[in-house]
Structure 1
């Protein structure tokens, strides 16, 4: 990106029709309009324009395929276009300086804004939803941080893993599963191919998942220095030896992420526990929807029937929702059969529909396939990759504090009416990678302020250490059996609507220790380096 683009006004622009697609040529690092609309030419000739391209990013369903990302010398172009070329453009939004703090690799799909997408032409709105460009502003991962994959075979010569992967144990399972999980967690980014994984500059060690009693294959990864292990699998049956292995891995500094599994809630009814997900000291995940902001944004008619249903509505814990008496003016209810296995051990949720499946490459040579179902196997590596980014930014981050940060930065979905029957069984809410990575940065930056807000925790043990200027708790509740141990070097501020009142099973410990010393410094990428 040129210096002019960095200093430019950035905005999103919405066209009146999906067919609007102005043509430009590049000339001296600027775009020159070469189309045949005289009003548009008159306006564009008055401005210096650096980028004008379609994007799925920040595009609501009604504006999908008619949203543009624009970089221009000044913000007056936005008003000029919507006022004087209203037959083509109806509205737009300026992008603030804070929102400019993003990084997009050159294989960021159809949601990319800065530069050209050279990778798979697929909709990565779920990565937008998770705030990946905001996270990548701070770090894109590190070769020193190793992600463990225990979910099927990979090919170490594949372009997405070449030079940064090692196989510890060959898997008995088809390569498709391992390919997709590995690609999501740490497939190489900025290589103009396929898509970027969440922690795309992290390394990968791959293994299988034999011996569920001892998890010796996972321990092997942990003892080799792996910081986070992905388990997109699970089995029923508890063994104390398995719990002992997990505890040892956490002592080694290794975080384990595992799926609550795929049986529908209509079958499990919250009483079915899979392992390792349901063990202590494991981050247990399940699925949530992300795409459509309101249920009436995506109401469909069931094929061959006169039944309406809503699908993939943001924050809903099930993929589909129906309407009492088929009345779409009423709040829907979630079909339990579309909810994946929930129980009291689930910690956090991630998006599950529309996820890119690199596993189709070895099976069908398909580089554009996405999942339209909601299996949890594809969700786990989103969390695993997020943990990889957190460790990449702050290698000294205690493994025991990772889960606390993920939960504190998650999006609360308790007040969504359709979710209330499942309260207490879907964890803290929806993962937000951007906020999690930013909180790590703030915790380890002496002049920053950390804000913990908008959650209501009635359980779990929270541990947090802050070296920042201050930690602010705002609109935040820790009640019932929740425990909080917050140790800060300078200030802790209890702001508006903060409630710290656990019962006899919980505990709150807030402490200031001016002698706190960081064991290492932040390992920041250079935010000024943005791909062209």
Structure 2
């Protein structure tokens, strides 16, 4: 064990001197100039294997999965090993528990893209997720300690939360341990030394006596530096301040009193003391849960997206190991999700002042569970063994609740973690009516912590949703979407006689159609589901872009007067659409990307087949007229992505599709080349997409692009194509690319294990081209994605026809399927169309490709060059319309707007008359086929 460091004072204290136990404490108050944001840790990834059919842990090796191990070897991953080898598997009586034994970690070679590696691992189809590892900052920023020099001192907060009287009921117990996962501690402080939970089974002798994988973890562990010294890092006393709030020795005639009284604390250091360590908050949570901590305090966090890996860790602690997890809600005065506080199974704690009003810098949201004092909290400092300091922020509100949780666990030893959390939520003092809180009602939790009520009241009722299942299950929902919501509710405390759950929307953009679930009489810990009659919701057509809509679950039992709320946030109208009418689900963005909004982006739901694993790593539209004049929004050769396309009209699903089960449309453009020194093309793109729900059309999605020349010069020639970096289930480095010239179909599959075939068919516009890319080609290759995708390489894939359309040696492969247009005059337009295909066999893929071609030619407005001499008049018509033709013969087909074939006739002369009086008013399509070509006309029948 290292000797304790000679600690340095906080900068503000270097001038003022150390504060002893007899000195008047001064206040350090948290500021909120910026929102703390989590950052990605370079060179590390975590991933979770899909459960094996036998529910056994992976076999020895990298992971024991040959497909995944081949990918890890290919990307040169190092130190691949289970993340939590000692974690206990979930038991059969633990619904909702997780198996951390399936989580692995890997180190990456220098310069490797974390997101690219995560994408490669996801595309193997063997992992539930692959994610970066994040760093979270502690939630303390000290300011001028003289800012509150007139303060009279003392722990006012103990009176506010009724701790003194609560101690008359219970003083906690040394067997209840509170984990302080933070910046370390001071082992010799007068108010902490006796409160540290030591591991007597592993004394400091250089041997792992308790065989838990940690040598000499007598005082705890330093996860950031991977050693057995949890002593604080230099210039940081955050962990000591937090520990004092929860567990400072009480009734010892010295210093202050911790809320937990006799409850001890386990110091777990998660911030490094040197440049080689790393943040390790989530590793500390697992350790705390596995080493008997009944309460875990997290006084750190940041705004940012949700991580399933981090949620798994929280779930493991709360469900598998029955620990109460308490976290600070944040110190940014805004309504936002703040992690880890906003995860499920976490008690999120916001801050109040000495008058029980919301602190000026407190984060507020529907995910906050309760509030606690968080300004001028006198606690242990740790620059000496006898010093104390007054601090502020949610970092110090959270451990007050953690200490209270320790008392509740002592008072009600039969309560599980969820019940302890419910008891704390239900026994707060409502403070919504106070002047400073009225505007935040419902967003500062159920009220201010009352420890006395928490340890004395036994008649409380509380229910909670333990699972929520949306159908369809998406990350976001588009205007007009209808969804079903099945929930599992659990009664946590006293029995209820007729529990109802009522769903309501707090947003005008979500309409609740089926709102009530009658759970009925429920015993303590009983669960009920509304799966048979789920809630039904509809997204309003006018929902703004990227709207976060909140819905409320209200639990009520009229007989007991019980009422409690829980909230859910739903993302509406994202900047992409998902076409999923058939067996392919395809994401189409507003800027020409397919699958995701760029490599590594989480905006989008990828491309999948029959709800299987993601099939596409990256896809998007490419335009080019030369090797230096290329426009796209896909990856480049500068460790990033090009951003040439700008949205004009965002992608949206048509509310009343006329030509397919689902239709999407949108418009984007690039910049004029005169503004980019000739680097871009200068084209406006109107994109349309069509998906069908009926066979044999379920295995494709048609993508159509109408290109308009915005420049003053003729584009000669113009190349257009789709880049698709497929990663099929199985070994991503074992695919081949084939070219079916007769069908203009380029497809990809694994010849050793052909589970699925994917590809593109050129349907219309220009001369077809196809290029197969070996992603791992040597540096001498003309195109090599291993070092990026340059403009010159993109031009090569578009411009050399089909001479490189095949790639028959198994490798990690991509494709570019496109078309070459001889010229496009200024202001002129042309249409190019492709079918994106997937099928379980080659024959089914070919059938789908043929069906797509037939469907597009017969039913969709192909905008083929106009046949000379073809005239339709009058149009619109109320009954008769005349069709003039070039010299026959010709075949005339009439279709409804929905694509139903209504009639076919053969014409030998130069004209014919159509009688539309037999048909209802509406839009019709007239297909004309002659020896010289074909065209499709729109015909409107009026009243």
Give the TM-score of the pair, scaled to structure 1: 0.52
Question: Are 2:394 and 1:389 aligned?
Answer: no
Aligned to 1:229: 296
Higher strand share: 2
Aligned to 1:309: none
Aligned to 1:254: 323
Deviation at 1:212, TM superposition (A): 6.8
Question: Are 2:189 and 1:158 aligned?
Answer: yes
Deviation at 1:242, TM superposition (A): 0.3
- Contact 1:477/1:498 (8 A) holds in 2: no
SS of 2:255 mapped into structure 1: coil
Question: Are 2:441 and 1:405 aligned?
Answer: no
In 2, the alpha carbon distance for the partners of 1:282 and 1:486 equals 24
SS of 1:217 mapped into structure 2: helix
Deviation at 1:496, TM superposition (A): 8.8
Q: 1:422-433 maps to which residues of 2 (within 5 A)?
A: 422-433=440-451
- Structure with greater Cα Rg: 2
Deviation at 1:159, TM superposition (A): 2.7
In 2, the alpha carbon distance for the partners of 1:214 and 1:220 equals 10
Aligned to 1:344: 366
Deviation at 1:175, TM superposition (A): 4.8
When residues 220 and 488 of structure 1 are mapped into structure 2, their CA distance, relative to the original with a 3 A threshold, is closer
- Contact 1:212/1:242 (8 A) holds in 2: no
When residues 214 and 205 of structure 1 are mapped into structure 2, their CA distance, relative to the original with a 3 A threshold, is closer
Aligned to 2:94: none
In 2, the alpha carbon distance for the partners of 1:244 and 1:341 equals 24
Aligned to 1:380: 398
- Contact 2:299/2:328 (8 A) holds in 1: yes
Higher helix share: 1
When residues 376 and 122 of structure 1 are mapped into structure 2, their CA distance, relative to the original with a 3 A threshold, is same
In 1, the alpha carbon distance for the partners of 2:221 and 2:564 equals 47
Residue 176 (structure 2) aligned to one of 128, 145, 160? 145
- For structure 1, which runs of at least 5 residues remain unmatched after alignment? 1-120, 291-313, 319-337, 443-449, 454-458, 506-532
Aligned to 1:239: 307
Question: Are 2:240 and 1:179 aligned?
Answer: yes
Aligned to 2:335: 270
Residue 286 (structure 2) aligned to one of 209, 214, 219? 219
When residues 195 and 494 of structure 1 are mapped into structure 2, their CA distance, relative to the original with a 3 A threshold, is same
Aligned to 1:416: 434
Measured against aligned partners, the alpha-carbon deviations of 1:316-349 in whole angstroms (never above 9, x if no partner) come to 213xxxxxxxxxxxxxxxxxxx231112221111
When residues 140 and 425 of structure 1 are mapped into structure 2, their CA distance, relative to the original with a 3 A threshold, is same
When residues 366 and 145 of structure 1 are mapped into structure 2, their CA distance, relative to the original with a 3 A threshold, is closer
When residues 164 and 417 of structure 1 are mapped into structure 2, their CA distance, relative to the original with a 3 A threshold, is closer
When residues 250 and 503 of structure 1 are mapped into structure 2, their CA distance, relative to the original with a 3 A threshold, is closer
Question: Are 2:221 and 1:168 aligned?
Answer: yes
- For structure 2, which runs of at least 5 residues remain unmatched after alignment? 1-151, 197-218, 223-229, 272-277, 463-486, 505-515, 526-555, 569-943
- Contact 2:330/2:338 (8 A) holds in 1: yes
In 1, the alpha carbon distance for the partners of 2:345 and 2:289 equals 14
Aligned to 2:377: 355
- Contact 2:432/2:441 (8 A) holds in 1: yes
When residues 317 and 478 of structure 1 are mapped into structure 2, their CA distance, relative to the original with a 3 A threshold, is farther
Aligned to 1:317: 358
Deviates more, 1:216-225 or 1:419-428: 419-428
When residues 146 and 125 of structure 1 are mapped into structure 2, their CA distance, relative to the original with a 3 A threshold, is same
In 1, the alpha carbon distance for the partners of 2:564 and 2:160 equals 33
When residues 462 and 180 of structure 1 are mapped into structure 2, their CA distance, relative to the original with a 3 A threshold, is farther
In 1, the alpha carbon distance for the partners of 2:350 and 2:404 equals 15
When residues 472 and 364 of structure 1 are mapped into structure 2, their CA distance, relative to the original with a 3 A threshold, is farther
In 2, the alpha carbon distance for the partners of 1:260 and 1:504 equals 16
In 2, the alpha carbon distance for the partners of 1:346 and 1:402 equals 16
Aligned to 1:18: none
In 1, the alpha carbon distance for the partners of 2:500 and 2:434 equals 18
- Contact 2:496/2:560 (8 A) holds in 1: no
How large is the RMSD of aligned CA atoms in angstroms? Answer: 3.7
Residue 130 (structure 1) aligned to one of 144, 154, 161? 161
When residues 460 and 132 of structure 1 are mapped into structure 2, their CA distance, relative to the original with a 3 A threshold, is farther
Q: 1:484-495 maps to which residues of 2 (within 5 A)?
A: 487=523
In 1, the alpha carbon distance for the partners of 2:183 and 2:564 equals 45
Q: 1:188-199 maps to which residues of 2 (within 5 A)?
A: 188-199=249-260
Question: Are 2:487 and 1:464 aligned?
Answer: no
Give the TM-score of the pair, scaled to structure 2: 0.30
When residues 419 and 460 of structure 1 are mapped into structure 2, their CA distance, relative to the original with a 3 A threshold, is farther
Size of the alignment, in residue pairs? Answer: 312
In 1, the alpha carbon distance for the partners of 2:564 and 2:165 equals 34
- Contact 1:146/1:204 (8 A) holds in 2: yes
SS of 1:206 mapped into structure 2: strand
Measured against aligned partners, the alpha-carbon deviations of 1:356-405 in whole angstroms (never above 9, x if no partner) come to 0311x4169644x423xx41111111000000111122333111112211
Aligned to 1:29: none
In 1, the alpha carbon distance for the partners of 2:351 and 2:451 equals 15
In 1, the alpha carbon distance for the partners of 2:266 and 2:567 equals 43
Deviation at 1:220, TM superposition (A): 0.6
Deviation at 1:225, TM superposition (A): 0.5
In 2, the alpha carbon distance for the partners of 1:377 and 1:501 equals 26
When residues 190 and 181 of structure 1 are mapped into structure 2, their CA distance, relative to the original with a 3 A threshold, is same
In 1, the alpha carbon distance for the partners of 2:438 and 2:270 equals 35
When residues 451 and 280 of structure 1 are mapped into structure 2, their CA distance, relative to the original with a 3 A threshold, is closer
When residues 213 and 201 of structure 1 are mapped into structure 2, their CA distance, relative to the original with a 3 A threshold, is closer
Deviation at 1:465, TM superposition (A): 3.5
Deviation at 1:173, TM superposition (A): 6.2
- Contact 1:151/1:232 (8 A) holds in 2: yes
Question: Are 2:561 and 1:498 aligned?
Answer: yes
- Contact 1:228/1:255 (8 A) holds in 2: yes
Aligned to 1:104: none
- Contact 1:150/1:218 (8 A) holds in 2: yes
When residues 418 and 503 of structure 1 are mapped into structure 2, their CA distance, relative to the original with a 3 A threshold, is closer
Aligned to 1:200: 261
When residues 161 and 477 of structure 1 are mapped into structure 2, their CA distance, relative to the original with a 3 A threshold, is farther
SS of 2:182 mapped into structure 1: coil
SS of 2:158 mapped into structure 1: helix
When residues 274 and 172 of structure 1 are mapped into structure 2, their CA distance, relative to the original with a 3 A threshold, is farther
In 1, the alpha carbon distance for the partners of 2:234 and 2:415 equals 33
Higher relative CO (Cα under 8 Å, sequence separation at least 6) belongs to 1
In 2, the alpha carbon distance for the partners of 1:144 and 1:180 equals 22
In 2, the alpha carbon distance for the partners of 1:140 and 1:436 equals 13
Q: 1:105-124 maps to which residues of 2 (within 5 A)?
A: 122-124=153-155
Q: 1:297-312 maps to which residues of 2 (within 5 A)?
A: none
SS of 1:400 mapped into structure 2: helix
- Contact 1:213/1:239 (8 A) holds in 2: no
- Contact 2:327/2:347 (8 A) holds in 1: yes
In 2, the alpha carbon distance for the partners of 1:184 and 1:391 equals 18
Aligned to 1:286: 350
In 2, the alpha carbon distance for the partners of 1:412 and 1:348 equals 10
- Contact 2:176/2:409 (8 A) holds in 1: yes
In 1, the alpha carbon distance for the partners of 2:169 and 2:409 equals 12
SS of 1:414 mapped into structure 2: coil
